[in-house]
Homo-oligomer: A and B are copies of this chain.
Amino acid sequence: MADREERIEKIVSLIVSNWKRLSEDPFQVPVGISARHVHLTREHVELLFGGGYELTPYKPLSQRGQFACREQVSLLGPKGCIEKVRILGPEREHTQVEISSSDGRVLGIRPPVRTSGDIKGTPGISLRGPKGEITLQEGVIAADRHIHMTPADAKWFKVSDRDKVNVLVPGDKGGMLKQVTIRVSDAARLDFHVDTDDANAFLLVQGQWVSIRKEESI
């Protein structure tokens, strides 16, 4: 009985806090902070971890079907090395390394700001796994700031896939992030993805709600 009351209380408090948030500003998105990570092809999984090796999911990510893996690799740049970089699954058609601009300083690589998947002409890097090392000719990016949403969300926010919007952040180091790409897909779950540089600069907290503003309103 107490258990049931507790559950009701939780649901009521969730409804109240969501209602409060929506009545303050109906155009808000939760923050998801992406640390540096790597997406691998089947071939590269085998070169780094051994023939026939399968990645081990250990934590689901906000976007349906995506997961963090137990496996990690080292990034070897011309100037430095970063160890214990997480692999994200599932496997992809192209290997891609997503780092922040400050990671780039450590490695000696300048990652261009790109939307995930758009790696043509980007810098290369070497990866070291427990069973081998590979050198990519391209694939290192600083992922653009982006908001995952469903078509229904897009209707609510009055935006379309690939639109650019602004995001307002309150606080001691508040401000506005521009050039935020809208990414609409059926499998999406509403999430505003920033890298650790943006999170540190704006003092963003995982799960915090922030406000979208349309480009033309600025």
0/1 per residue, A174-202, Cβ < 8 Å to B?
A: 11111100000000000000001110111
Chain A, range 56-82, C-beta contacts under 8 Å to B:
none
Most B CB contacts (10 A, CB to CB) among A101, A113, A171, A197 go to A197
Residues of B within 8 A of A200 (CB): 100-102, 105, 197, 200-201
Residues of B within 8 A of A105 (CB): 200
The docked-state distance in angstroms from the alpha carbon of A138 to that of B113 is 39
Contact B196 A173 (CB under 8 A): no
A216 at the interface (CB under 8 A from B): no
Contact B203 A101 (CB under 8 A): yes
Contact A166 B173 (CB under 8 A): no
By DSSP majority rule, is chain A's interface helix, strand, loop, or mixed? mixed
The docked-state distance in angstroms from the alpha carbon of A171 to that of B200 is 19
A172 at the interface (CB under 8 A from B): yes
Closest 8 CB pairs of A and B: A201-B201, A113-B172, A176-B176, A197-B200, A175-B178, A102-B200, A197-B201, A101-B200
